[in-house]
């Protein structure tokens, strides 16, 4: 009998031990792993539902040394609400609140006089100091409530890329543009955050064995380098101001991996005050707009011809200055003939007639196949609303459509598609996946790395090297009449100037789209830069509008990343 009693006692003690272990473990999860979160929730005292923002993940930039800088995070403070039926002196209440945080007097009086309305919010985003100061006054009918909201410490920096959080039509808060929207399911915590500590401790037991934070994965870390991003945006703003352009943009990418270290366009906006802006500015032109890029496409046409074997670097043609194709006149930028010249002069002198000649050698089917590989589908970059190129001209039976496409007119692509395609020239003929997020920091502490390994070979290494040699010569011999050459660093470049289309069809003779691409060191590129400016005033050619910015960025990158000189290297294999 005694043995049975001892056996039962041991079973009971064992069960109690298991329960104790579960409770201790659960307490560890709630108090240690999620202690800060529940402490923040406790301060709310179940007031004012802003739960959709209360536990939103952070978005980070990444400095060149690997440290993270928060660019989309949460800020703590207070909101002010009134209970109209309880306010004894509306004027006094208004004066007290307005002295601490300016509010609209007419709106406040309208809300405060709604006697049958139990609750109205009259001010948001008060600092801790301001909120506590107002709370100490203990005004009848006025309540100061803790609040947490989304904030963007970098202001306008990378605004199109980061996006912002706002209300949807169903009155729920979520990411509306940029990474906030694309990674909303990672950053956003669904459901109410107002849960009693003990309810959380003893309920949802299943969460203990999985992930209590599974409704939100965590934070995201971008590849954007803040110093470089600022430098790029400053250069874009200078171009925009100097030439009164409609829009100016740029992307800097690591061509071997697709990691985008800087990107942006102007005009831009401040996501902290997006309500003051026209909604048309929120879309990201780098993935949502298409442009006829002009002569930077000649580098891709050249690589296509070399890769297809219809030309070699030694091939010559008779440049007559102008030709007529399908009753359309195609001319070099200066209408001048060059006579019999080799392929390199097509790149160095940016000759439309030469690009048209390569298109003829390629033939419709071959040229179409190359261009469809380059531009025929979206890049898959992790930004919302990415559009695709307009390539319908390449379905035409007319040769003129292929000739104009060869020098970047008649087809329109996004800047992201363009840098991905041109990046193949900097990467031995292989296109990579452009991307912005390098890792997700999960709530459990685990780090998840998105797979950006997708690659597509477009050109052979030999044909890209031959094309790069021509672009390298353009930099050394032609750009700024050779004065832009960097003695210690090889740089491959191509400029582009395209006529803008008229709404009714045809092209303006005096309005242009300018573009500029370059990468360095030419034969082992660390970075590729794409710049553009739409409808600049006071300059006809992109060499006039974008060379200074390109060279400024190039020198900054060389110095900032301490890129070793490559002049004197004899082995130029990719």
> Mind listing the pLDDT tens digit for each residue in 363-389?
999 999 999 999 999 999 999 999 999
Measure the CA–CA gap between 223 and 99, rounded to whole angstroms: 43
Peptide bond into 133 cis (omega under 30): no
Q: At what angle do helices 128-135 and 90-100 cross, to 10 degrees?
A: 160
pLDDT over 90 at 207, yes or no: no
Is residue 36 predicted with pLDDT exceeding 70? no
Residue 25 banded pLDDT, cuts 50, 70, 90: low
Residue 459: pLDDT above 50? yes
Is 90 exceeded by the pLDDT of residue 452?
yes
CA distance 230 to 359: 40
pLDDT number for residue 570: 46
pLDDT class for 85, splitting at 50, 70, 90?
A: confident
Cα distance between residue 350 and residue 66, in whole Å: 40
Beta strands in 326-463 (DSSP E): 328-331, 339-342, 430-431, 437-442, 447-448, 456-457
Q: With 50 as the cut, is the pLDDT of residue 469 above it?
A: yes
Helix (H, G, I), strand (E, B) or coil at 431: strand
* Banded pLDDT at 204 (limits 50, 70, 90): very low
Beta strand pairing call for 437-442 and 218-222: antiparallel
pLDDT-derived band of residue 3, with 50, 70 and 90 as boundaries?
Answer: low
Quote the CA–CA distance of 268 and 276 in Å, as a whole number: 12
Most confident of 74-83, 202-211, 241-250, 479-488: 241-250
pLDDT value of position 198: 44
**Mean pLDDT within 155-162:** 97
Q: What is the mean pLDDT of the chain?
A: 89
Residue 206's pLDDT band, with cuts at 50, 70 and 90, is very low
pLDDT at position 167, please?
A: 84
Name, in order, each residue with C-beta under 8 angstroms of 433's C-beta and a sequence gap of 6 or more: 258, 379, 380, 381, 452, 453, 454, 455
**Gap between the Cα atoms of 4 and 485, Å rounded:** 94
Count other Cβ atoms within 10 Å, centred on residue 64.
Answer: 13
CA distance 102 to 344: 66
């Amino acid at each position: 009998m005694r043995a049975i009693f001892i056996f039962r006692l041991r079973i009971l003690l064992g069960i109690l031990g298991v329960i104790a272990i579960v409770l201790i473990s659960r307490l560890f999860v709630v108090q240690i792993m999620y202690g800060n979160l529940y402490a923040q929730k406790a301060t709310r005292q179940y007031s004012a539902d802003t739960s959709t923002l209360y536990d939103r993940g952070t978005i980070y930039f990444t400095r060149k040394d690997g440290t993270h800088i928060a660019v989309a995070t949460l800020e703590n403070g207070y909101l002010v609400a009134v209970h109209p039926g309880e306010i004894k002196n509306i004027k006094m209440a208004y004066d007290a609140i307005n002295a601490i945080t300016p509010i609209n007097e007419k709106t406040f009086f309208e809300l405060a006089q709604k006697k049958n309305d139990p609750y109205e919010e009259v001010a948001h985003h008060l600092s801790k100091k301001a909120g506590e100061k107002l709370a100490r006054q203990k005004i009848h009918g006025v309540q100061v409530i803790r609040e947490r909201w989304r904030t963007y410490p970098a202001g306008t920096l990378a605004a199109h890329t980061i996006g912002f959080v706002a209300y949807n039509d169903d009155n729920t808060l979520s990411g509306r543009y940029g990474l906030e929207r694309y990674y909303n399911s990672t950053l956003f915590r669904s459901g109410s955050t107002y849960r009693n500590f003990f309810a959380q401790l003893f309920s949802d037991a299943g969460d203990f064995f999985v992930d209590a934070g599974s409704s939100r994965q965590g934070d995201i870390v971008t590849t954007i380098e803040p110093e470089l991003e600022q430098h790029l945006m400053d250069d874009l703003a200078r171009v925009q101001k100097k030439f009164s352009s409609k829009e100016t943009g740029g992307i800097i990418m690591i061509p071997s991996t697709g990691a985008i270290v800087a990107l942006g366009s102007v005009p831009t906006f401040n996501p902290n005050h997006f309500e003051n802006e026209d909604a048309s500015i929120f879309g990201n032109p780098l993935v949502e707009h298409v442009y006829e890029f002009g002569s930077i496409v000649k580098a891709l046409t050249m690589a296509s011809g070399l890769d297809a074997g219809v030309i070699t670097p030694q091939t010559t043609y008779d440049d007559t200055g102008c030709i007529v194709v399908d009753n359309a006149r195609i001319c070099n930028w200066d209408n001048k003939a060059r006579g019999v010249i080799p392929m390199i002069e097509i790149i160095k002198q940016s000759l439309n007639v030469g690009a048209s000649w390569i298109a003829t050698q390629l033939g419709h089917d071959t040229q179409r196949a190359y261009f469809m590989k380059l531009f025929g589908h979206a890049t898959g970059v992790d930004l919302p609303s990415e559009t695709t190129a307009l390539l319908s001209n390449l379905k035409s039976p007319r040769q003129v459509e292929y000739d104009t496409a060869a020098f970047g007119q008649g087809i329109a692509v996004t800047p992201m598609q363009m840098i991905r395609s041109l990046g193949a020239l900097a990467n031995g003929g292989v296109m990579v996946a452009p991307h912005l997020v390098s890792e997700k920091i999960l709530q459990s502490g685990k780090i998840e790395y998105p797979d950006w390994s997708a690659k597509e070979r477009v050109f052979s290494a030999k044909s890209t090297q031959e094309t790069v040699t021509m672009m390298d010569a353009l930099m050394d011999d032609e750009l700024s009449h050779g004065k832009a050459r960097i003695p210690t660093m090889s740089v491959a470049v191509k400029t582009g100037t395209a006529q803008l289309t008229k709404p009714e069809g045809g092209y303006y003779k005096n309005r242009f789209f300018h573009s500029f691409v370059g990468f360095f060191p030419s034969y082992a590129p660390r970075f590729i830069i794409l710049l553009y400016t739409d409808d600049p005033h006071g300059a006809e050619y992109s060499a006039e509008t974008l060379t200074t910015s390109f060279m400024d960025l190039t020198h900054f990158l060389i110095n900032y990343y301490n890129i070793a000189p490559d002049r004197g290297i004899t082995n130029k294999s990719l």
